Structure 1
Amino acid sequence: MTGDVEKMGRAVLDVSDLHVRFPASRNWLGRPTSHVHAVNGVNLTVRAGKSLGIVGESGCGKSTLAQAIIGLAPYERGRVAIDGEDFGAVQGKEKRALRQKMQIVFQDPQSSLDRRLPVWRLISEPLHIRGGHSKADLHAKAEQLAVSVGLRPEHLDRLPHEFSGGQRQRIAIARAISTDPDLLVLDEPTSALDVSVQAQIINLLLKLQRERGLTYLMISHDVALVRHFCDDVAVMYLGQIVETGPADEVLSLPQHPYTQTLLAAAPSFDTPLPTIAEVRMGELPNNRRLPASCFYKQRCGKAAAGCETQQVLQRADDGPRHVRCHLALG
């Protein structure tokens, strides 16, 4: 492994009380009159060489959280720290240097690659932006990266449309690791690919993690994939983390009612999950006006006294698991 073994275990990413909201409507002066509250007080930590998966239904704020962490979406308040440095507190060269410690692999490789550039240029583009490399150096580096992700160097002068979807995702991964980032954000990296190709990409990512000591933050709706790929998992609902801990523990014995409901659609898990009678099949609460109670109360079949107040993410036992539900905490 090329990663520094002494640094393993350090907090590569530390997110504290992160809030992200967007204007939903404006008055005739252009001033916002309402907002979409996409991320509502998220706290999470990803340690070096580990993988954290963020799971939840569509619209829960997973991708917005990833974009805020990587700097593609502004956040209203909170803190995003990379290797202990506050990403939001630095500017200029310091911010650019810190930004290069993070890279992202998007869901659709075709739309994330410039179709006008040859593949060697796409792979080496982050190095070109950094500067200090000749064209020959960039081409040589692109060849090395291509081999590391399973591409043939002699094909690097081709354009992206000449490759399959799985090959384009390999190109995107090669580009993402070109600057030796400390953190790689994976936003649904296999959902746009054929099932037969998905396993190949996941195995490639695991291989690169072993070889380079990479740290991953994976955004996914596929709980089976997260259970296989990630060390830890955070379950997200309406912009909040409702349960977090080791992936195998959380996804085998979920404690929060929402996590149980989420896993009820995954029959491969042999776990005691709720029946349909225990789940209130209502619509998602409006994220323009957040509930004053537990965010999940109106959809929870187990709601009881105490659920009328907002819940706090608390340690479930003496271990690393945390749950945002007073009923689960006993």
Structure 2
Amino acid sequence: MPTRLVNSGARCDYLVDGFIEVNSRLEIEPGTLLRFTKDSELNIDGGELIAVGTPAARIRMEGLNPVTGYWSGIIFGTNARPSRIEYVDIVNAGQEGGYYHPKGALAGFGGSLVLKHSTISGSYVNGAIFRSLRLIEFENNRFFGNTWYGVVIDPAQVHLLDAASDYAGREKPNGRPYVGTGLGDLEEDVTWKKLNAPYFVEGYLNVAWGTLTLAPGVKLVFSDKGNLTVEETGALRAVGTAAEPVVFTGKEAVPGYWAGIWFFDSTSRANKLEHVDIGYAGGESILGLNANVVVDFDAYLSLSHANIHHSQGWGVRCGNPEVDGYVLELGPGNTFSHNAGGDVDPDCG
């Protein structure tokens, strides 16, 4: 049955000891303080969590002892109902755990969530993970002092992140100074905003349908052998400015560290790279076309005011012109340097 936790005015309103499963409605009153014993967990599965504080009466959930990762955190199960967390501070949760713990102070295997005006700090692993846990709304949150990322998020949800939130940890930096994403497909028109931390693409990012627009000043950092693929009906529009270029780079400043940006079969005229900086790619490619930028299999790309550098292969490389009908439009302002194979493949025309 529904449960309401009230603010009694005590130094600690509730001491949570152990694994608490919520299979109905759990509502927490503004100003309520909850303390959790070691390894305790609030598990929302079959129920919903409504924790809505106010600017003057925030809800606080913290470990009984001020130790990083002291308690497990808030975990949403596959049957969780839509929940809401506003003006809430989640402190010193998050454990590395095992198979049944998704390595975040706020995470889940399902459910959906509104998260606003809240903080997550002192996690032994990530602050929050939004993969199977879906976001409904996200606004003005802060993530700091977490051992790993402040936020890890599925690529399909990145566009929901707001520029007002703090992902880097201004109060205390997170151990991994990025917004973690990657290993996924994009299938609709979305815009990724400039945040106060770069995006870290772990593995691959595939734009298969719809257009991915990257706002001026966006920075994508790729993992070892990572890549960005644009194919079929997908498109990539990265249009920066001279003052705020869109940056694509590897986690390490080593030529060939990541594989690069590949345009395959995408004939969309929305494919545009302008005022971009693309460096340290040209690593191992499934087609052997090692370059920072690859255009192949009937793809289209407009490239201008681009700084392309430190490739292990070519700066820009194209497929076989006798077989493939790609179109590469090289506009003004492009610069190339330190590309081991050459700057622009002669096959690019």
Calculate the TM-score normalised by the size of structure 1: 0.27
Bigger fraction of residues in helix: 1
Which has more radius of gyration? 2
Bigger fraction of residues in strand: 2
Calculate the TM-score normalised by the size of structure 2: 0.26
